Structure 1
């Protein structure tokens, strides 16, 4: 029981079709050589970094640091002192925004606080002109 593959296959004759296996092998070798010879594209940005020691820091005033904590129930602490309400917070922010140099604000939200309380503090700070705002303690939210 056999399968007929075409004319001339039964009597051992020559099959009139071209054997493409060696051509495919050659094409694969050429493709591999092409991939190997293509230069690797590196995504780099050329930076001209300053050479030598940094210039001395003279008359540099370290900015004041204000720590604003937002507790889980929305209570706001200004450098550890409880604020009575949003009006007092905004009054203090207005005073600090007018200073030169402007103080740094470190915002430290509690892990359980609702976002609306933190967003209200950030919105007030931005609206009143505090530019140096940073979130502190983000590692607590990694879990």
Structure 2
């Protein structure tokens, strides 16, 4: 009787592993990682204005935290009328404390035009590490009326 479950004494069990399905899976994973790898670069997310910006509507009960960087590269934190000179680490700790007490407080960065771009990036990265999801950039209106 020759059936699919009847073993003949001449045939040996197959000892090979079919690797074709594993190759297919590996190729799919390779394509997925090739597509997602460029998206994993680190950076500070900033929404830059297009051409012109509108003034921010201020809320009376929720003063923004304003982090200022002056020409010499010193940091200042301002909440309401109180402005204090701080180091980068102190600023991070104070922002965390303020956001714990008043979540949803907007955070704004005001930088002198002569400050190096890298210092603003370090500041924004530190704010992101402190749990600030969105950072606004403050600027002066253009003197010549352009956008």
| Structure having the higher Rg | 1
Higher relative contact order (CA 8 A, sep 6+): 2
